[in-house]
Structure 1
Amino acid sequence: MIVPDISQNAVAVADHYDELDPIYRSVWGEHVHHGLWTTGRETPAEAVEALVDTVGDRLHLEPDDACVDIGCGYGSTARRLVATRKVRVTGFTLSAGQADYAAAHADPHVDVRLRNWLVNGLAEGSADAAWSIESSEHMVDKPGFFAEAHRVLSPGGRLVVCVWLADANAGGWQVRHLLEPICREGRLPSMGTREEYEAMAVAAGFEVTDYEDVSSRVARTWTICARRLGRALLVDRDTRRLALRARNRIFGLSMLRLILAYRTGAMHYGIFTLSKPGEGPARSGAGDQS
């Protein structure tokens, strides 16, 4: 597990996203996660929606499923899956700015709550499916993240986790100059490996039904973000002022580290599909990839 030299907590995560909220939306849009390219010809907007659709496929979502979006950001993933799969979603975010944006773009089938997932307050066995897209990295208690997901899901329920992962064999220079600073600058209390994530999931009671490394299909996200941020700094005074004065301004440098981390193999992007053992509703679909 990669741990930054300055400890991070939920308050720091919320501050990061609240302060940089205008930059995140202007540089990348309302989906605060990587894009997934299949043909390479997709626009960035199509690529971010492709990642959401992949999550929906792997969950085998059915109409009226009760779903949980762990780390829901602006609620965009939830709104898309409500529109395309006819599900109901409860989302959790630490960011007041993100919760306010979600409220301003409300959907009657999406309930976004400003609350820490680790103390979510949901009833045991109350959800059919759950997902976490690049939010588990921000959890101080990662075993607790999995334990809460297992508790909230009904028997037979599924969890998809899209996550930044450290390479198990990352060299010393990669840890010192790429992975540890990425954690510090991006407010990640830690970054795990594939093996560590699988061990935590199994310890919580999940079965790992699938894992796919899609690093090569998502990595261009950061090249696009860096280019857009550079352009915004040149032409937009408000972006320039925020980037220069913000407490979290160092994250701009992390974009370059992320590009190098993918290119050198120090970091990976993985998609886990997990299931809670037990009898659940029959589901059909081709979401699993073996």
Structure 2
Amino acid sequence: MSAAFAAESAGGITAAVARYYDTTVDLYEELWGEHVHHGYWDPHERPGTDVAQRHGATDRLVRELVAYAGIPAGAHVLDLGCGIGGPALYLASALGCTVEGVTLSGPQAARATEKAHAAGLAEQARFHQLDALATGYPDASFDVVWAMESLMHIADRSAFFAEVFRLLRPGGTLAVATWSVRDGELSDEEQDTVKMVLRHQVMPSLSSRPEHERLCAAAGFEQVASVDWSAAVSHTWDPEFALIRHFDKSKTMMMELARERGVDVLGYFHAGPIMKKGFDTGVITYDALRATKPGAQA
């Protein structure tokens, strides 16, 4: 994260994340479709660039997390960082779940609500502009808490795991997919890469996979497990898939975006090559985590 962002309080970080997604909500949907998150590919598979292939890869990431975490059909799910509702609508339609989605971005919540109505799922999937650490839901409200690519935007990760533990019913499941940093000491060049990722993607820091596991267990969770999906998702940042070159070729288009929405919107395009470098060198990783709150489901 930039020096300006780093100097801000947790509340400032929250506001910065909200501003970023407020200004990019339609841009991400135009570029990536239903989901504001990575795609998933088999080993040695190359990403296709047509719309169906792009959507298939991002859809698959949702299915992979469902399978890895063992999300049960008909569960009551809290989606923390719901974006424009892609995963929530999948959980509602394919698994018959009822989902409450929360996002810091009012435009994202509004777009997700529109999509739920269009899909005939408005009664099963509802979306709200709320802070993930202050949703106001009572204790033990949900069977599942789902957090896909939202944890890295939260500065106080101990508070995140504690709040999720509070919100889950006994026997409930936590499912997380998140960007991470390689465990261990980083070289100066690797630290610079991470700093650039933080700056352009509006994040306070990145934690390692062992650190996520430790924080999760410290909050009281059992059966904590995680897996490295870096190789499966890294093609997301191939220039052709991310469509960065399409925009980079038009400086006029970039200038218009900056004038219309502010310079923060350009962070996505600057971040693409840096994210690719991070994955290629192994300093940026991508992990899935699952855990269970002790006790039996009623």
Name the TM-score, length of structure 2 as normaliser.
0.87
Tell me, yes or no, if structure 1 residue 214 matches structure 2 residue 237: no
Which 10-residue stretch deviates more, 228-237 or 44-53? 228-237
Match of 2:270 among 253, 257, 265: 253
Match of 1:117 among 129, 132, 140: 132
Matched with 1:270 is 287
Q: Deviations over 1:55-91 (max 9, x none)?
A: 2223333332111111000011000111111110011
User: Is the CA contact 2:247–2:253 (under 8 Å) kept in the aligned structure 1?
Assistant: no
Identity within the alignment, % = 29
CA distance in 2 between partners of 1:193 and 1:46 (Å): 28
Q: Give the deviation of 1:274 after TM superposition.
A: 0.9
CA distance in 2 between partners of 1:47 and 1:58 (Å): 16
Match of 1:173 among 180, 189, 199: 189
Q: How many residues align?
A: 278
CA distance in 2 between partners of 1:32 and 1:91 (Å): 14
CA distance in 2 between partners of 1:175 and 1:233 (Å): 26
Matched with 1:288 is none
Q: Which has the higher contact order (CA 8 A, sep 6+)?
A: 1
Q: Deviations over 1:39-68 (max 9, x none)?
A: 626622111111111122233333321111
Matched with 1:155 is 170
Matched with 2:91 is 81
User: Is the CA contact 1:27–1:225 (under 8 Å) kept in the aligned structure 2?
Assistant: no
CA distance in 1 between partners of 2:104 and 2:111 (Å): 13
CA distance in 2 between partners of 1:78 and 1:241 (Å): 33
Q: Which amino acid aligns with 1:78?
A: A
Q: Which amino acid aligns with 1:172?
A: D
Q: Give the deviation of 1:122 after TM superposition.
A: 0.9
User: Is the CA contact 1:118–1:144 (under 8 Å) kept in the aligned structure 2?
Assistant: yes
Matched with 2:50 is none
Q: Give the deviation of 1:232 after TM superposition.
A: 3.8
Match of 1:190 among 168, 180, 205: 205
Question: Could you list the runs of 5+ residues in structure 1 that have no partner in the other structure?
Answer: 282-290
Question: Could you list the runs of 5+ residues in structure 2 that have no partner in the other structure?
Answer: 48-52
Aligned residue for 2:63, secondary structure, equals helix
Q: Give the deviation of 1:234 after TM superposition.
A: 4.1
CA distance in 1 between partners of 2:149 and 2:133 (Å): 16
User: Is the CA contact 2:81–2:148 (under 8 Å) kept in the aligned structure 1?
Assistant: yes
CA distance in 2 between partners of 1:225 and 1:207 (Å): 41
Q: Give the deviation of 1:188 after TM superposition.
A: 0.5
Two-structure CA RMSD over aligned residues (Å) = 2.1
Q: Give the deviation of 1:15 after TM superposition.
A: 0.4
CA distance in 1 between partners of 2:31 and 2:179 (Å): 20
Alignment CA distance shift 1:270-1:227 (3 Å):
closer
Aligned residue for 1:210, secondary structure, equals strand
Matched with 1:15 is 19
Runs of 4+ in 1 over 6 A off after TM superposition: none
Q: Give the deviation of 1:233 after TM superposition.
A: 4.9
Q: Give the deviation of 1:203 after TM superposition.
A: 1.2
CA distance in 1 between partners of 2:37 and 2:73 (Å): 25
Q: Which amino acid aligns with 1:68?
A: L
Match of 2:72 among 57, 62, 81: 62
CA distance in 2 between partners of 1:187 and 1:225 (Å): 23
Give the helix-richer structure, 1 or 2.
2
User: Is the CA contact 2:220–2:293 (under 8 Å) kept in the aligned structure 1?
Assistant: yes
